[in-house]
Amino acid sequence: MTGQITAGQFHAADGVEDWRCLYHVVSAYFPTGSLDKGIELVAEIGRLADEHEQQYLAIDLRRAGVTVSLGVRHIALARRISAAAKQLDIPADPSAVQLINVTLDALVGADVLPFWRALLGYRQLGEDYLFDPARRGPGFGLQHMDAARPQRNRMHLDVAVPHDQAEARIAAALAAGGRLVSDAHAPMWWILADAEGNEACVATWVGRE
């Protein structure tokens, strides 16, 4: 499929059951159990990727497994990667993917973003987002606030999880001593806090179609 598609359209397509939308990408995790098996899968993914024109492809190879991320529109490549993993007898674990962003509340983003760009060695995308050019670290975004809030933490984590794992992740966080701050924007995101009030958001693609 070419052109822009939504997360909902991606998940409605056939043959992409291994994949989950996380913000601007789709990701799949294939537990290999060994580095040799992972290298074999990565080699096949590389061959398939050479046959497809894609704007984004990230592969994380670890001894335990391989995580692959693609642009949302690359349904055909996602299908072929899943098929290749199946041929190698490597089942996917869709519950094991996530994407983490660090978000900073700022009064004037233009005043603070250059500092963080220099400090992190990141590159800028748009007016309020930084990314690691090596694709190793989390994204870093700014969120506008109208007035200073010295009584509240101004930095929090945004954790994008598979849409079918969000409730379990939230339940686990609450059982571990957290509390629900707001579900006003659910199922796009929930705001949670730890016992001392430090906040984090759990986000899904649902509602962003």
The Cα 118–Cα 25 span in angstroms is: 26
pLDDT in tens, 94-150: 999 999 999 988 888 888 899 899 888 999 999 999 999 988 899 999 988 888 777
pLDDT at 188: 95
pTM score of the predicted model: 0.84
The Cα 47–Cα 58 span in angstroms is: 14
Answer whether 7-88 and 101-203 agree in fold: no
Q: Residue 209 has what DSSP assignment?
A: -
pLDDT in tens, 72-94: 999 999 999 999 999 999 999 99
Name the residue ranges covered by the structural domains of the chain. Answer: 7-88, 101-203
pLDDT at 2: 54
CATH class of 101-203: alpha beta
What kind of fold does domain 7-88 have according to CATH?
Gyrase A; domain 2 (3.30.1360)
The Cα 100–Cα 98 span in angstroms is: 7
pLDDT in tens, 114-125: 989 988 899 999
Could you tell me if residue 156 is left (phi over 0), alpha (psi between -120 and 50 degrees) or otherwise beta? Answer: beta
